[in-house]
Amino acid sequence: MARWIRFKVEGRIGFGTLDGERISVYEGDMFAKRALTGDQVALDAVEVLIPCDPTVMIGLWNNIASAAAEQGRTKPDEPLYFFKPPSCFLSPGGTIVRPKSHDGRIIFEAELGVVIGRRCVDVSESEVDDVIFGYTCVNDVTAPVVLRADDTFPQWCRSKSFDTFGPFGPVIATGVEPKTLRIQGLVDGELRQDYPASDLFYSPRDLVCRISRDVTLFAGDIISCGTASGTLTIESGATVEIVIEGIGTLSNSFA
């Protein structure tokens, strides 16, 4: 297993693998041709960035069996998803900022993110592991009042795409088995969400196969697998952590 990380140090952006508190630096392309440089840098000496630059984040709705049962829903015939643009992405440690146009509730959603490793279309079950690069932590920040503000048009994209509403990272973990993972969401250290990836209606592999039938996916793109019950309004000054053992902890404050 490797934990890939992107960082900035002395004005330069780099990437490498994180082992404890040290980063082994690579050069080239994280998703294609890459090579060790032989250099290492301390984690506390760098600014941690989002671990890749997706063209889009695709988020799932109603993809957790336990949450669906609580709310009287059933498994959808196909994955139900929306899009979050690159303008909303936020680095680990960054601050989630309330948009000027909205003074209502803002909630966090702890989710598992699937990171695509190369351009792909209509991926088959036999090749899906070849196109998945790895997995990351996602906080699908949402303004739920905006989502339902217009009875004629649910605003999925707007409610989830304000600037800073797409934190993910801090690393991309490769070589992990997603169905063994557990996703947790904490607010100021209090556990609010805790659910296994095995509770997903559509597994990460299923999602890549099904979504790629309709949408071309590119290296670095992220599919965020959906969230369970326990989401909570974030209060000013709060710190939200998304924790997935085997991947890491994504931590962001809210202002």
Distance, in Å, from the CA atom of 108 to the CA atom of 243, rounded to the nearest integer, reads: 13
In the chain, % of residues over pLDDT 90: 100
Contact by Cβ (8 Å): 134, 113: no
Mean pLDDT of all residues in 171-188: 97
pLDDT of residue 48: 98
Q: Where are the domains of the chain?
A: 1-49, 50-254
Separation between Cα atoms, residue 48 and residue 70, nearest integer Å: 38
Instruction: Give the pLDDT confidence of 34-51 residue by residue, as tens digits.
Output: 999 999 999 999 999 999
Pick the CATH number of 50-254 from 3.90.550.10, 3.40.50.150, 3.90.850.10, 3.40.640.10: 3.90.850.10
pTM beyond 0.75, yes or no: yes
Please give the pLDDT value at position 5: 98
Q: Are 224 and 54 in contact (CB under 8 A)?
A: no
- pLDDT value for 57: 98
Task: Render pLDDT for 101-151 as a digit per residue (tens, 0 to 9).
Answer: 999 999 999 999 999 999 999 999 999 999 999 999 999 999 999 999 999
For domain 1-49, give the fold: SH3 type barrels. (2.30.30)
Backbone angles phi, psi at 117, to 5 degrees: -100, -15
State the pLDDT at residue 124. 97
Contact 210, 147 (CB under 8 A): no
Q: 67: part of which helix (H) or strand (E)? A: helix 65-70
Query: What mean pLDDT do residues 143-167 have?
Result: 97
Residues 6+ apart with CB under 8 A from 141: 96, 106, 107, 108, 109, 160, 162, 164, 165, 166, 167, 234
* Rounded-to-integer distance, Cα 46 and Cα 30, Å: 18
Measured CA to CA, the distance from residue 84 to residue 82 in angstroms comes to: 7
pLDDT by residue (tens digit) across 13-37?
A: 999 999 999 999 999 999 999 999 9
pLDDT in tens, 74-106: 999 999 999 999 999 999 999 999 999 999 999
Q: Name which of 234, 231, 239 is nearest 110 in CA terms.
A: 231
**What kind and span of H or E run contains 160?**
helix 156-160
Residues 198-237: tens digit of each pLDDT: 999 999 999 999 999 999 999 999 999 999 999 999 999 9
